Chain A
């Protein structure tokens, strides 16, 4: 049973560039959430996708956008990169329910902005 997978594992970009990160959820899961984890901090919620729509969003600017595909996989896009966007980006998957469900995390993509 494949867990949550993310690609790429590492990425280096320069300020002003755009980046796309990818996530495949755990088998049987239909909901994908994205988190940003800066050095020394806990994961911060960016947004969540279900049925190809953004369902919830944390306190992140519009430069952060996403997409979910019919096979439940998801992309996170960040435009106009800033140095402060350097972080570990985590994808978590779960099964959409009326009540909260445990989220399972992928290994993350380490983004470095120079």
Chain B
């Protein structure tokens, strides 16, 4: 049973434009969410996180939005750069736990 879902396997965006990656979850007990970026032949790299007490968290070009009522989060990358081309995974956990549940990933391609 997939508790975290990323329904778009791939996304292509022009350099300089906004990239929006989406993630849905089903377990209402999740209250901590993260985004990871993964390049080929490397492990996932932590990008940004958000806890359920917030609805937005920013770090430079990256912003994560959380809509608890819709059980939906999104990652915005502005402006997108060719180096952002990678697979992006969202993950969810309970604050009191350490088991992360991952989505299946979205492959982002930023076209120069």
Q: Which residues of A contact B (CB under 8 A)?
A: 4, 31, 33, 35, 40-45, 48, 55-56, 58, 90, 92, 94, 96, 98-108
Contact = CB atoms under 8 A, between A and B. Distances in A.
A17 B16 CA distance: 50
A100 B41 contact: no
B102 A55 contact: no
B53 to A, nearest CB: 12
Interface string B61-104: 00000000000000000000000000001010111111111111
Contact of B95 (A4, A40, A100): A100
6 A-B pairs with least C-beta separation? A42-B102, A105-B43, A105-B44, A107-B43, A43-B102, A42-B104
A101 B46 contact: no
A10 B36 CA distance: 23
A42 B105 contact: yes
A103 B96 contact: no
21 contacts: A31-B98, A33-B99, A33-B100, A40-B104, A45-B100, A45-B101, A48-B99, A55-B98, A56-B99, A90-B43, A100-B96, A100-B97, A101-B98, A102-B46, A103-B100, A104-B46, A105-B36, A105-B43, A105-B44, A107-B41, A107-B43
A86 B44 CA distance: 19
